[in-house]
Amino acid sequence: MRLLLLLIIQCLVVIVSAQKTSPQSDCVFKQTMPPERLLSAYPFQGAAGVRLVSYEKLENTGTEKYKIFRIASLIKEFHTVRNGEFHLDSLRIDTTDWRRTYWLNPTEQLNLAKLLFYITPTKKKITEVPCFEPKHAILFYDANGKIISILELSFACKAIKLHPSGWMNEQFCSGKWKELEKFFRQFGFSEWFEAEE
């Protein structure tokens, strides 16, 4: 009987430790897979390198007389139509407006994977913001230096864009945004985390 009680208590401890609620009530820390398997999940499994980037790309959307600038994506997608469906051929990156870059080592990549996959929203739907002004990105490169995936981040709008889409939950809770900001800041990124007036 004592052994059974001890076993039940140990199971409860494991369950509680695997699903810790963060200080931000809209997030939960949930170990969805063992840490050693995180780097075998897409896009980490095909990535020979992972790079953090900050940039400020402005695009003129007005006329010559009245220039209207908006923040633009650093990504240009090129598609072809095959069998009536769009297929991504390549992603081209504009590096002219990059302010800072940093290549992650394997330990840092594992920490990023934990942050992306273990911190999840407690609600099914997070309130959406009607803007997307990306100034940070995480780029995943294959062994040939080709970009295989991109996660663009708009800290000001609390919005993301995945290329290709669908490889992770696109709903970020406030705790994940705070942890991502800390992650970028530890590598010297210091700009564009707040909405500009």
Asked if residue 4 is part of any domain, the answer here is no
- For residue 85, pLDDT over 90 is answered with no
Asked if residue 194 is part of any domain, the answer here is no
pLDDT for position 65? 45
Asked if residue 3 is part of any domain, the answer here is no
Asked if residue 193 is part of any domain, the answer here is no
Query: Which amino acid is present at 76?
Result: K
pLDDT for position 17? 42
Asked if residue 191 is part of any domain, the answer here is no
- For residue 179, pLDDT over 60 is answered with yes
Which of the 8 DSSP states describes residue 103? E
pLDDT for position 4? 45
Asked if residue 29 is part of any domain, the answer here is yes
Report pLDDT digits (tens) over 122-176: 876 656 666 777 889 999 999 988 888 888 898 888 888 888 777 776 678 888 8
Q: How far is CA 148 from CA 25, 76, 117, 124, in A?
A: 34, 14, 18, 28
- Mean pLDDT score, 84-111: 78
Asked if residue 98 is part of any domain, the answer here is yes
- Mean pLDDT score, 61-81: 49
Where are any strands of DSSP class E within 5-142?
19-21, 27-30, 49-55, 58-60, 69-71, 75-82, 85-93, 98-103, 119-121, 136-141
Asked if residue 35 is part of any domain, the answer here is yes
- Mean pLDDT score, 16-20: 42
Total domains in the fold of the chain: 1
- Mean pLDDT score, 103-130: 84
Where are any strands of DSSP class E within the chain?
19-21, 27-30, 49-55, 58-60, 69-71, 75-82, 85-93, 98-103, 119-121, 136-141, 147-154, 159-163
Q: Which residues span the domain enclosing 26? A: 20-185
pLDDT for position 68? 40
